[in-house]
C-alpha cells in the first residue's frame, strides 16, 4: 500500500523531507528528474503517513494518503 504519493518532477533536491522524517523513510534516489535534480524516494514499509514531509516541502512534492 502506498501511503505517500510523490511528484518527483517537482523535487529540487532540498532534502528537508529527509531531515524531518521521524522514521527515516525517505532517501535520495540516486537518479535525476527532468530538471536535473536528484529526487527522493519513499519507503512505504517504513512510512507512517505522519505528514512531516508534506509540511516541510516547499515544492509540493508530497501527497499523503
Kindly tell me if the per-residue pLDDT of 3 is higher than 90. Answer: no
Q: How do residues 5-64 score in pLDDT, each as one tens digit?
A: 999 999 999 999 999 999 999 999 999 999 999 999 999 999 999 999 999 999 999 999
DSSP 3-57: -EEE-GGG--S--HHHHH-TT--EEEEEEE-TTS-EEEEE-TTT-----HHHHH-
- Domains of the chain, first to last: 4-64 (3.30.70.20)
Amino acid 1: pLDDT: 63
Amino acid 18: pLDDT: 98
Amino acid 65: pLDDT: 82
Q: What is the phi/psi pair of residue 19, to 5°?
A: -65, -25
Kindly tell me if the per-residue pLDDT of 2 is higher than 80. Answer: no
Amino acid at each position: 500500500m502506498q501511503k505517500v504519493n510523490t511528484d518527483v518532477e517537482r523535487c529540487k533536491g532540498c532534502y528537508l523531507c529527509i531531515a524531518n522524517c521521524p522514521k527515516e523513510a525517505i532517501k535520495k534516489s540516486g537518479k535525476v528528474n527532468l530538471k536535473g535534480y536528484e529526487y527522493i524516494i519513499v519507503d512505504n514499509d517504513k512510512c507512517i503517513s505522519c505528514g512531516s514531509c508534506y509540511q516541510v516541502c516547499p515544492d509540493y512534492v508530497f501527497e499523503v494518503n
